[in-house]
Amino acid sequence: MINQHIYKNGQELAAHFADFFLQQTKDKAVFHVALSGGSTPKILFDLLAKEYADRFEWSKIHFWWGDERCVPPTDEESNFKMTKELLIDKISMPSENIHRVLGENDPVKEALRYAEEIQATIPTKNDLPRFDLMILGMGPDGHTASIFPHQIELLHAKPICAVATHPESGQKRVTLTGATINNAAEIAFLVTGSNKKEKIHEIFNEEKDYKQYPAAHIQASDGNLSWYLDEAAAGK
């Protein structure tokens, strides 16, 4: 089932998604969520820190990353650094619940290690790790996590994690691959900005080259997919 939610701006989107996120954690003893990087989640993390710090039971929530740049955790490019500064440092989450990709390590070895940590920690269903919630963004080129159009085959890669390369910068990334992303119980795209509206229109209307966009291939294989869009991304 695909749900589409359109909000005036990123702040309204984040407020509604935060309530959804909170609700999803209510009846769970342990909750595994994969976070995304980029700028859209910054609005959400800032809101969670400011208005939800005391509403979540952070001790039962585990943070993972759907993708991470292969840089040290102190690097400005690090998705972990962004999350730590905006959210983790402002909530009381046990350190053992924070499962960062070790971006400072060799990418190939880290992709293997992260996959092992996921498999050792997260329950499986359909012979794959099953995240309770997978938060994704979408780039202007239709990429999601760090699966870019030029490496769309990573959607179908057998390993749970793979090493990806940013098409412009060549930066190495560790990313979850398609099957694990699609196996999550709840998948939520958070997409803002008018630079996404063409791709959103093509994906939702299955027009032009939409199959070339990795985001178009994210379908909850055994769960729910929701798109949280601001009006700019929805082309309103």
Query: Residue 231: what residue type?
Result: E
Instruction: List the one residue from 10, 31, 40, 63 that touches ligand 6PG (CB under 6 A).
Output: 40
Nearer to ligand 6PG, 40 or 177 (CB): 40
The least distance separating ligand 6PG from the CB of residue 130, rounded to whole angstroms, comes to 20
Measured CA distances, 137 to 59, 68, 134, 193 (Å) = 25, 13, 10, 11
Binding mask 102-141 for ligand 6PG (x = CB under 6 A): -----------------------------------xxx--
Identify the CA nearest to 96 among candidates 134, 62, 131. Answer: 62
Element (H, E) at 41: helix 40-51
The pair of three-digit structure tokens given for residue 20, joined into one six-digit string:
């959804």
Instruction: List the one residue from 118, 145, 181, 215 that touches ligand 6PG (CB under 6 A).
Output: 145
Residue nearest to ligand 6PG (CB): 137
Instruction: List the one residue from 25, 78, 144, 183 that touches ligand 6PG (CB under 6 A).
Output: 144
Q: How large is the greatest C-alpha to C-alpha distance in the chain, in angstroms?
A: 47
The pair of three-digit structure tokens given for residue 48, joined into one six-digit string:
């969670």
The least distance separating ligand 6PG from the CB of residue 39, rounded to whole angstroms, comes to 3
Sites for ligand 6PG among residues 166-195 (CB under 6 A): 193
CB 171 within 8 A of CB 165: yes
| Half-sphere exposure of residue 137: CA atoms within 13 angstroms, side-chain side | 25
Binding mask 51-70 for ligand 6PG (x = CB under 6 A): ----------------x---
Identify the CA nearest to 64 among candidates 3, 136, 139. Answer: 136
Residue with tokens 């701006």: 9
151 is an interface residue for ligand 6PG by CB under 6 A: no
# residues contacting ligand 6PG (CB under 6 A): 15
Instruction: List the one residue from 10, 37, 103, 214 that touches ligand 6PG (CB under 6 A).
Output: 37
Query: Residue 123: what residue type?
Result: P
The least distance separating ligand 6PG from the CB of residue 59, rounded to whole angstroms, comes to 26
83 is an interface residue for ligand 6PG by CB under 6 A: no
Q: How many other CB atoms are there within 10 angstroms of residue 27's CB atom?
A: 7
- Binding residues for ligand 6PG (CB under 6 A): 36-40, 67, 79, 137-139, 143-146, 193
